[in-house]
Copies of this chain bind each other. A is one copy, B any other.
Amino acid sequence: MISTEWIGYGAAVLTTLSFVPQVWQIWTTRHTKDISLRMYILFTGGVSLWLLYGLLLGSWPIIVANCVTLVLAGMVLALKLRHG
């Protein structure tokens, strides 16, 4: 039987790693026109709150996932602001 914690870690790995190909694509093409700036402003704000929620709940999958997601989504936001 797979424990709840390991399902959380699996979820964390997938949603976190999902931003890597997006960062890589922008890094190589420098094209961000089709990416919504509003999405990444709201998303990075939301991920910051998820991190706080994880800390208060003491849930390691939520904490680890949202730390890394914050860095990666923050990179997409920064690249969007740079390339427009």
Interface residues of chain A, those whose CB is within 8 Å of chain B, are 4, 7-8, 10-22, 24-26, 29, 31-36, 38-43, 45-47, 49-50, 52-53, 56-57, 59, 61
What is the bound-complex CA distance between A4 and B58, given in angstroms? Answer: 11
Which of the residues B11, B21, B47 comes within 8 Å of A50, measured between beta carbons?
B11
Give the secondary structure class of A's interface: helix
Query: Chain B CB within 10 Å — which of A10, A21, A34 has the most?
Result: A34
Nearest chain B CB to A73 CB, angstrom units: 9
Copies of this chain held together in the complex: 2
**Contact of B46 with A15 in the complex, beta carbons under 8 Å:** yes
Nearest CB of B to A63, in Å: 13
A25 close to B31 (CB less than 8 A)? no
User: Is A17 in contact with B42, judged by CB distance below 8 angstroms?
Assistant: yes
Q: How far is the CA of A59 from the CA of B57 in the complex (A)?
A: 10
